[in-house]
Amino acid sequence: MSDKLVMSTGNKAVAAAVKMAQPTVVAAYPITPQTEVIEAIADYVEGGEMTARYIPVESEHSAMTACIGAAITGVRVFTATSSHGLLYMHEMLHWAAGARLPIVMGQVNRTIAPGWNIWAEHSDSLSQRDTGWLQIYVSTVQEAYDATLMAFRIAEDNRVLLPVMINMDGFLLSHIMQPFEMTEPGDFIPPIHLPHAIDVNDPHGYGAMSPANVHYQFRFDMEKSMRAAREVIAETEAEFAKRFGRSYAPVEEYLCDDADVVIVAMGTMGKEAEVAADFLRSEGIKAGVMRIRWLRPFPELNIAGKELVVIDRDYSFGFGGVIAGEIQARYPEAKMARVIAGLGGQEVTFEDMAEFVRSRKIGTEFWFGIPEEEQ
């Protein structure tokens, strides 16, 4: 086993998966902590390991428009960004999804300024929650690689035809080095077939006026595809497990079956929370972890009979943590303690998470690091 493993950062693993998927076009703009992804891809292209046309652009807005222009011709397209870069793409993210283009994006989660901060937070991608992109949050280098391979197959499935954003925590995952196994995907990712690709021999209008009596139908069609994406994701993850031996689910459950209390988190905190659960169990507290991987489409959570400690690495001002809010909206009966932790790369250890569980107060919100009297 150890012979097959290579040490890699999360960034380089995403790039390695993109190389396997062989997109026709990559258009991107560098930004910390994503830079290594597109540096590696540019190297592959320069060295002839990838046949993609690499389009260096002057901004993320242009990166996404170049991706849209390329994707509408029916070819496979990839880009990567982070934080402010993602926000700069915002308008075009809607265009990509609305035009039903299966673009795949590596997105490295980083805080939004000010103050200037390059460390992990989920506010960047969560602020793009409603753009019509599928979103997955990964927690290991292996998972970043595997999710990127699967993203192309899921996005391009004709039941979906929506873009996919693979999110990983800045530095914590983008720059950590872990052993991972490279997989030759073979025909796991079928050739792309975009049914509405531009064809000069069969001209159609693109991006034309869609008046009030039509527009909602396009929107409902997107929602139907999001709903169908649940099944496509399940099929793709099952097929991946069958071929390559690594299993994933929309929500990764750890020791949840008999758990009285469950930590809900995403990304690297969701993985480290497993250590917190082990720790709590050694104290006699029946704890588990639900790590939400696919946020869009939103997954089902098996929360009956369990108290939740939801950790949000994000915040919606004047409301609360985004993930806690989503769970409460979907499961109004959920008994949860809400924790805001990890903003701007704030250190949150498994010991801290264990303490969130021990000191949980159902129905309240707790900001980690803020004195009790100010909460």
Partner 1 sequence: MYEIRIHSRGGQGGVTAARMMASAAVKDGKFATACPFYGAERRGAPIVSFVRIDEAPVRIYSQIRKPDMIIILDPTVMETVDVLDGLKEGGSIFINTHEDIEFPPQFKVYKADLTGIALSKNLVVAGSPILNTPVIGALAKLGLFTHESGKKAIEETFADVRNIEVAEKAFEEVTA
Residues near partner 1 (CB under 8 A): 1-2, 5, 7, 33, 118-119, 140, 169, 171-173, 175-179, 268-269, 271-272, 274-275, 347-350
Least Å distance, CB 349 to partner 1, is: 4
Residues 6+ apart with CB under 8 A from 374: none
Q: Output the DSSP codes for 19-32.
A: HHH--SEEEE---T
Least Å distance, CB 175 to partner 1, is: 6
Q: Which of 5/329 has CB closer to partner 1?
A: 5
Dihedral, CA atoms, 189, 183, 133, 83, nearest 10 degrees? -150
Least Å distance, CB 174 to partner 1, is: 10
Least Å distance, CB 233 to partner 1, is: 24
Q: Which of 302/349 has CB closer to partner 1?
A: 349
- Helical residues (DSSP H) of the chain, grouped into ranges: 10-21, 35-46, 60-71, 83-88, 90-98, 123-126, 141-156, 212-244, 267-282, 322-330, 350-358
Least Å distance, CB 267 to partner 1, is: 9
Least Å distance, CB 333 to partner 1, is: 31
Q: Which of 1/214 has CB closer to partner 1?
A: 1
Q: Which of 7/370 has CB closer to partner 1?
A: 7
Q: Which of 83/131 has CB closer to partner 1?
A: 83
Residue 113 phi/psi, 5-degree rounding, is -80, 175
Q: Which of 33/132 has CB closer to partner 1?
A: 33
Q: Which of 312/352 has CB closer to partner 1?
A: 352
- Compute the C-alpha angle 371/373/375, nearest 5°: 70
Cα–Cα distances in angstroms (integers) from residue 131 to residues 151, 181, 244, 354, in the given order: 17, 33, 32, 35
Check: CB of residue 27 under 8 Å from CB of residue 79: yes
Least Å distance, CB 103 to partner 1, is: 29
Longest dimension (CA), the chain: 70
Residues 6+ apart with CB under 8 A from 143: 248
Rounded distance, CA 73 to CA 234, Å?
28
